[in-house]
Amino acid sequence: MRMWGAALLMPLAAALSAAQAPEPAATGAARIAQAALRDPSSYALVESLTTEVGQRLAGTAADARAVEWAKAKLGAMGFDDVHTESFPLTAWIRGAESAEVVAPAPQKLALTALGGSVATDADGIEAEIALFRTYAELLAASQGALAGKIAVVTQRMVRVQHGGGYGAANPIRRAGPSEAAKRGAVAYLLRSLGTDDHRLPHTGALSYAEGAPRIPAAALSNPDADQLERLAARGPVRVRLLLAPRTQENAQSWNVVAEAKGRARPEEIVLIGAHLDSWDLGTGAIDDGAGVAIVATVGKLIASLPQRPQRTVRIVLFGAEEMDRSGPAYGAAHEGEARRIVLASEADFGARRVYAVLLPTAVAGSDFAKALAATLAPLGAFVDPRAPLGGGDDIHQLQKAGVPVAYLGQNGLDYFDIHHTADDTLDKIDARELAQATAVWAAFTYLAAESDVDFRAK
Amino acid sequence: MRMWGAALLMPLAAALSAAQAPEPAATGAARIAQAALRDPSSYALVESLTTEVGQRLAGTAADARAVEWAKAKLGAMGFDDVHTESFPLTAWIRGAESAEVVAPAPQKLALTALGGSVATDADGIEAEIALFRTYAELLAASQGALAGKIAVVTQRMVRVQHGGGYGAANPIRRAGPSEAAKRGAVAYLLRSLGTDDHRLPHTGALSYAEGAPRIPAAALSNPDADQLERLAARGPVRVRLLLAPRTQENAQSWNVVAEAKGRARPEEIVLIGAHLDSWDLGTGAIDDGAGVAIVATVGKLIASLPQRPQRTVRIVLFGAEEMDRSGPAYGAAHEGEARRIVLASEADFGARRVYAVLLPTAVAGSDFAKALAATLAPLGAFVDPRAPLGGGDDIHQLQKAGVPVAYLGQNGLDYFDIHHTADDTLDKIDARELAQATAVWAAFTYLAAESDVDFRAK
């Protein structure tokens, strides 16, 4: 009876105390989460960006259109400041790309150039393939073993909800081209880093090593990698490859920044970001239109609160994540204020539900973590006690400068079915899941900005 | 007790009677179904065809390679006769194809030319689109209403297990180009007849109407059709289209025929077919490598029986189903023996389980239907009491000549996710489902060939 009476009286007591004392942070966090669940902005933003701009490869005219789009959208959201910060980059622009099995069974192959790949000669390359079912087997090949060959690695990345299969397989794409070149290969093909079975290859950046010849490199769709495995098991296979990308020196891109100043300690900044640029094959819906929509909506909700949180909330839409350029540019430009950025995180893992938040170790088990956990529970998410590996690619440079990072884990079971392919389009986004993710980001950001905890390790 | 005793004694009684009388047809059907379930041939055949030949567009060199493949495979299977029957056709060969939104938001569109489409001018067509969300709205447009426009129909086909959504939507692709041309359109785009959401458009044949201008026609992927709907809702949209297919007159293709002669009434023929040709975008795994594998395996199992069924079983691998040429050619050449073909059916609906068999009305409720139902039950299939709409596209001409047809219904829930796209590749096939389908076809074919029923309506 006592419990029952207390439960009945709670709302009245809460109402009375609200009139007298500042609202508990958890109450504000729960309220902003509910507002995010009801707010159609996140889906509307990604619909607008993917429709009215479409793909927005960093350093191109489409990128510039996306920046204008972002300035206009953020400019109408009640922020105290919206501005851009430019940085230089060499743009890489896809050209014609095709490949075919010449012998023994002539057939076309679906592939796409890796970002940063050099072109083949104008009439292409024709050579026998040397196929490796694992990357380790390629690395075990001796120098010169691949002379004159097109190296092919068909290792398949592993489907994991948190996306860890991508990190594990990443060297196959990043470092594989130069490793093959060191062993004499004239070109490099890999099975796409993707978990689907469609004829839609997954692009992504490579990193040529110093001192190794720069050879053309492309990703095969999963069914095409399967096909080369079957053909190679039957005997020698000759492939013809044509890639005609080009680069443009002295291009530029922009990080777009918006701020909602804190009411009590505006010099302390909670930074949440996403990246505005996309690969060119799809329209950048899940990578990373969804992230842009999430953090812009969170920023809007916080900027328009009757009472702002204590700390400043800064939204950064990074301009060249796919080219590995915007994070370093931002980190270099803002190294001097790294001490004032109390926490940073980037939304760059799609449009599905957030199921876990990983916090800096300094606050593990703290009252902050408990309050966050209580706020997340009704949203269907929890606080994962493990430390985050990072806070997102664009946050890495800040992290190196000492900025604490958090990671909001979204359900990525099918993320790598779509990631970096032509299939990255709006229809892959469920508006309700996106709203849930936005709500979790809103609660997390509000709590971090309203609190006075120090996220830095002691 | 009596029932229980009878059940126990049955196997012994059956064994005794088998030594004295011919085996019941149902026993032979069950045995051949079990053999099909254990036989790895069906998957091995489609693996071989899709790997060693790949796509095999009718009338091309790849088609000729497929015919050589079929002759070699069937030739090693114990048939009494394997031969080819050639027929002429005009081959249609895909060329470059691309499209893009020029304004208001420049972006590429994923589309593919319809089979039989004329080319655009070498520098393409650029025009404003007139978008119709249903085909009926296009048909309601008055003559001249589409003058100078690219007509776009974005009606979505319906996903149905038995595939009926395809037939319902087929006029949009078949007749749409000429209907748009009659109203003044300079080109025609449709939402692919497909149930997926990938950037992989579905090709398929069109049929130009007499007297209407022949305009270029292509299918958009579903996400691209969605995108045009969103853009058109915002205002005028200009699209640029380039299609460069060509035709080759005086090409030829072949129907490949194999027979296992009946032991008692060899002049009576049970004809089962599939089509060897495929569209050029994928490797023709589900359409119709699977059907080829099913009927070839069934033929092999029957040809190698110690005691053949009473009637002849004829396997026909049709050479140009996608071009609507092989069925008419076969029907015309074999009109004279239509009376001797007691039943015909084509396997052309993928690689998934058969769940129902539809028989000619003449045998509805007959002992034959009951024996078939009893044989199918342990395989997870039943006899559907409805009459079939047809027995397959290549069977249509025979049906018009009076040949009774049956239809074996496979689970087609995801068939039109893949049909006529680049995604029609081996990885979409589950070997166990294909073996089940083969087992049902084997039981059905054996029973029809062993029986003396007349499938013709009285």
Q: pLDDT tens, B120-174?
A: 999 999 999 999 999 999 999 999 999 999 999 999 999 999 999 999 999 999 9
Enclosing domain of residue A175? 95-244
Cα–Cα distance, B206 to A109 (Å, whole number): 26
Looking at the structure, tell me whether residues B167 and B99 fall in a common domain: yes
Cα–Cα distance, A92 to A248 (Å, whole number): 6
Cα–Cα distance, A267 to A452 (Å, whole number): 12
pLDDT of residue A8: 41
Q: Which residues contact A352 (CB under 8 A, 6 or more apart)?
A: A410, A411, A412, A414, A415, A430, A433, A437
In chain A, % of residues over pLDDT 70: 95
DSSP H/E element including B401:
none
SS3 B159: coil
* Position B23 confidence tier, pLDDT thresholds 50, 70, 90: confident
In a domain, A18, yes or no: no
Residue B425 is nearest to which of A55, A106, A199, comparing CB atoms? A199
Looking at the structure, tell me whether residues B224 and B165 fall in a common domain: yes
In a domain, B6, yes or no: no
The alpha-carbon gap from A21 to the nearest alpha carbon of chain B, in Å, equals 49
Asked if residues B199 and B109 have their Cβ atoms less than 8 Å apart, the reply is no
Tell which residue, A147, A145, A191, has the closest CA to residue A165: A191
Cα–Cα distance, A204 to A115 (Å, whole number): 5
The pTM of this model reads 0.92
Looking at the structure, tell me whether residues A235 and A110 fall in a common domain: yes
Cα–Cα distance, A439 to B51 (Å, whole number): 49
**Residues of B in Cβ contact (< 8 Å) with A427:** 197, 222-223, 226
Asked if residues A45 and A224 have their Cβ atoms less than 8 Å apart, the reply is no
pLDDT of residue A9: 42
In a domain, A285, yes or no: yes
CATH number at residue A191: 3.50.30.30
Tell which residue, B48, B319, B255, B91, has the closest CA to residue A104: B48
Residue of A nearest to B428 (CA): A197
Residue B200 is nearest to which of A54, A199, A231, comparing CB atoms? A199
Looking at the structure, tell me whether residues B228 and B267 fall in a common domain: no
pLDDT of residue B2: 37
pLDDT of residue B83: 98
Asked if residues B130 and B150 have their Cβ atoms less than 8 Å apart, the reply is yes
Looking at the structure, tell me whether residues A178 and A265 fall in a common domain: no
The alpha-carbon gap from B103 to the nearest alpha carbon of chain A, in Å, equals 10
Segment A145-192, tens digit of pLDDT = 999 999 999 999 999 999 999 999 999 999 999 999 999 999 999 999
Are B422 and A62 in contact (CB < 8 Å)? no
Segment A80-137, tens digit of pLDDT = 999 999 999 999 999 999 999 999 999 999 999 999 999 999 999 999 999 999 999 9
Residue at a domain's end among A244, A271, A305: A244
Annotate A47-108 with three-state secondary structure.
Answer: HHHHHHHCCCCCCCHHHHHHHHHHHHHHHCCCCCEEEEEEEEEEEEECCCEEEEEEECCCEE
Are A54 and B104 in contact (CB < 8 Å)? no
Looking at the structure, tell me whether residues B209 and B346 fall in a common domain: no
Q: CA-CA distances (angstroms) from residue A240 to A107, A155, A411?
A: 10, 21, 39
Assigned token pair, A327 = 């994070």
DSSP H/E element including B168:
helix B164-174
Is the pLDDT confidence value at A388 over 90?
yes
Are B234 and A426 in contact (CB < 8 Å)? no
Looking at the structure, tell me whether residues A67 and A104 fall in a common domain: no
Residue at a domain's end among B184, B216, B244: B244
C-alpha A253: how far from chain center = 17
Segment A281-302, tens digit of pLDDT = 999 999 999 999 999 999 999 9
In chain B, % of residues over pLDDT 70: 95
Segment B76-130, tens digit of pLDDT = 999 999 999 999 999 999 999 999 999 999 999 999 999 999 999 999 999 999 9
Is the pLDDT confidence value at B17 over 60?
no
A447 C-beta neighbours (distance < 10 Å), count: 25
* Position A458 confidence tier, pLDDT thresholds 50, 70, 90: confident
The alpha-carbon gap from A156 to the nearest alpha carbon of chain B, in Å, equals 14
Cis peptide before A63 (omega within 30 of 0): no
Looking at the structure, tell me whether residues B275 and B369 fall in a common domain: yes
Q: Where are the alpha helices (DSSP H) in B21-60?
A: 25-38, 41-48
From the candidates A55, A69, A94, A107, which should be mutated to test the interface with B, based on the most B CB atoms within 10 A? Answer: A107
Is the pLDDT confidence value at A6 over 80?
no
Is the pLDDT confidence value at A22 over 90?
no
pLDDT of residue B457: 81
The alpha-carbon gap from B214 to the nearest alpha carbon of chain A, in Å, equals 29
Averaged pLDDT of chain A: 95
Q: Which residues contact A404 (CB under 8 A, 6 or more apart)?
A: A342, A343, A344, A360, A362, A455, A456, A457
Q: Which residues contact A45 (CB under 8 A, 6 or more apart)?
A: A73, A289, A292, A293, A296, A297
DSSP H/E element including A263:
none
Cα–Cα distance, B126 to B101 (Å, whole number): 9
In a domain, B69, yes or no: yes
Are B105 and A52 in contact (CB < 8 Å)? yes
Query: What's B424's DSSP letter?
Result: -
B63 touches chain A (CB under 8 A): no
A203 C-beta neighbours (distance < 10 Å), count: 27
Averaged pLDDT of chain B: 95
Are B234 and A52 in contact (CB < 8 Å)? yes
Q: How many CA atoms lie within 13 A of B310 on its CB side?
A: 15
pLDDT, mean of residues A46-61: 98
| Total tally of structural domains belonging to chain B | 2
pLDDT of residue A23: 79
Cα–Cα distance, B176 to B190 (Å, whole number): 8
Residue B105 is nearest to which of A54, A421, A428, comparing CB atoms? A54
* Position B20 confidence tier, pLDDT thresholds 50, 70, 90: low
Looking at the structure, tell me whether residues B181 and B161 fall in a common domain: yes
φ/ψ (deg, to 5) at B136: -60, -35
- Please report the beta strands in B66-177, taking only residues with DSSP state E, as ranges in sequence order: 81-93, 97-103, 107-109, 111-113, 125-132, 150-153
B51 touches chain A (CB under 8 A): yes
From the candidates B50, B60, B112, B198, which should be mutated to test the interface with A, based on the most A CB atoms within 10 A? Answer: B198
In a domain, B438, yes or no: yes
B227 touches chain A (CB under 8 A): yes
Residue of B nearest to A422 (CA): B199
CATH number at residue B51: 3.40.630.10
Segment B344-379, tens digit of pLDDT = 999 999 999 999 999 999 999 999 999 999 999 999
Looking at the structure, tell me whether residues B212 and B309 fall in a common domain: no
B200 touches chain A (CB under 8 A): yes
Is the pLDDT confidence value at B294 over 50?
yes
pLDDT of residue A21: 62
In a domain, A12, yes or no: no
Query: What's A377's DSSP letter?
Result: G
Residue at a domain's end among B244, B263, B298: B244
Looking at the structure, tell me whether residues A300 and A330 fall in a common domain: yes
Is the pLDDT confidence value at A17 over 60?
no
φ/ψ (deg, to 5) at A30: -65, -40
Residue of B nearest to A66 (CA): B105
Cα–Cα distance, A181 to A171 (Å, whole number): 14
- Please report the beta strands in B221-301, taking only residues with DSSP state E, as ranges in sequence order: 238-243, 246-260, 265-275
Cα–Cα distance, B181 to B381 (Å, whole number): 46
Q: Which amino acid is at B207?
A: S
In chain B, % of residues over pLDDT 90: 94
Assigned token pair, B69 = 């493949």
pLDDT, mean of residues B38-54: 98
Task: Please count the residue pairs, one from chain A and one from chain B, whose beta carbons lie less than 8 angstroms apart.
Answer: 92
Assigned token pair, A141 = 């090949």
Assigned token pair, B19 = 């030594």
The alpha-carbon gap from A399 to the nearest alpha carbon of chain B, in Å, equals 36
* Position B22 confidence tier, pLDDT thresholds 50, 70, 90: low
Segment B216-230, tens digit of pLDDT = 999 999 999 999 999
Cα–Cα distance, A71 to A67 (Å, whole number): 6
Cα–Cα distance, B200 to B183 (Å, whole number): 29
Looking at the structure, tell me whether residues A104 and A159 fall in a common domain: yes
